[in-house]
Amino acid sequence: MIEFFRGLGIISGYFILCATAALLLRRVIRMPTEVFRKLLHIILLCSLFVWVYAFQTWWISSLAALAFVAIVFPLLSLAEKADGYSKLLTERKSGEIKRSLVLVFVMFAVLNSVCWGWLGQSWLVLACVCAWGFGDAAAALVGKKYGKRYLEGKLIEGRKSIEGTLAMFAVSFVAVLIVVLINASVTWYAGLAIAAVTAAASAVVELYTRHGMDTVTCPFAAMAVLLPLLYLWGVPL
C-alpha cells in the first residue's frame, strides 16, 4: 500500500507540474495548436517512464495506472462542462482527452504485465512505447508542415503524408535504438537492425490504423516484432 500510494503521489505531481508548465508556456509564447497538442502528447508519453521507475513491483504499477484512470476520468468529465475546456486543451472532438487517457494507461497496464510481469524486463515497456510515442508526434508535426506527397486508400483514414511516415520511422528508429543499446546486451549492428525493423513495423501500422487507435496498435505491433528479434539475437527474456 505504501508503494501504491507513493507512486500515485509521484505521478500526480508529475502531471500537475507538467500540465501547469505547458499552459503557462502557451500563455507566454505563441504556440501553434498542433505543437501544443503534441506537447500534451509528449507529457502523457513521458509519464510512462514515471510509471516504470516510480514503482518496484510490476503489478502495483499496472494496478496504480488503472486506479489513476478511474480517479481522473470522472474529474475530466466534470471539467468538460466548463466553458473553454475543449479549446484550452485543443480537443478535436469532445471527450478526446478522456479517451486518450484510458487508451494509454490500459495499453501500459497490459504491456507492463507482459514485459515486466511475465518476462521480467521493465525496459521492454519503454522500448515498445517509444517506438510509437515520439515517432507519432514527429509524424504529425512534420506531416502538417512539410507534407507534400500523400498516401490514400480504403485502409488509410483520410490521407497521410509520406514525409510524416518517414519522420515517424526515423524518430522511432532512434528512440528504440537508444533504449535497446542501453538495456540489451547486443552489438551495435544488431541494435541497428532491431531498431530499424521495429520502427518500420510501427510506422506501417500507424499508417493503416484508424480512429486514433494507434495508441494501442503501434506499441503492441512493436512488441510483436521486438521480442522475437531480441530472442533471435540471444537476449535473455
More confident residue, 194 or 157: 194
**How large is the average pLDDT for residues 170-184?**
95
User: Percent of the chain beyond pLDDT 90?
Assistant: 54
**How large is the average pLDDT for residues 169-186?**
94
Chain position carrying cell 500534451: 40
Side chain identity at 150, as an amino acid letter?
Y
Tell whether the model's pLDDT for residue 148 goes beyond 90: no
Copy the grid coordinates of residue 124. Answer: 521492454
pLDDT of 3 reads: 93
pLDDT tens digit sequence for 42-62: 998 899 888 899 999 999 999
pLDDT of 178 reads: 96
pLDDT of 44 reads: 87
User: What DSSP line would sit under the chain, residue for residue?
Assistant: -HHHHHHHHHHHHHHHHHHHHHHHHHHHS---HHHHHHHHHHHHHHHHHHHHHS-SSHHHHHHHHHHHHHHHHHHHHHHTTSTTHHHHTT-SSTTHHHHHHHHHHHHHHHHHIIIIIIS--THHHHHHHHHHHHHHHHHHHHHHHH--SEEE-TTSSSEEEHHHHHHHHHHHHHHHHHHHHHHS---HHHHHHHHHHHHHHHHHHHHH--TTTHHHHHHHHHHHHHHHHHHHTT---
User: Percent of the chain beyond pLDDT 70?
Assistant: 100
Sorting pLDDT into bands at 50, 70 and 90, what band is 152?
Answer: confident
Tell whether the model's pLDDT for residue 222 goes beyond 90: yes
Side chain identity at 192, as an amino acid letter?
L
pLDDT of 223 reads: 95
Tell whether the model's pLDDT for residue 154 goes beyond 80: no
Rounded-to-10 torsion of CA 111, 45, 224, 124: -70
Sorting pLDDT into bands at 50, 70 and 90, what band is 117?
Answer: very high
**How large is the average pLDDT for residues 198-222?**
92
**Residue ranges per domain, the chain?**
1-110, 121-237
pLDDT of 101 reads: 87
Sorting pLDDT into bands at 50, 70 and 90, what band is 227?
Answer: very high
pLDDT tens digit sequence for 80-112: 888 777 877 777 777 788 888 899 999 999 999
**How large is the average pLDDT for residues 3-11?**
93
pLDDT of 16 reads: 93
Sorting pLDDT into bands at 50, 70 and 90, what band is 128?
Answer: very high
More confident residue, 61 or 234: 61
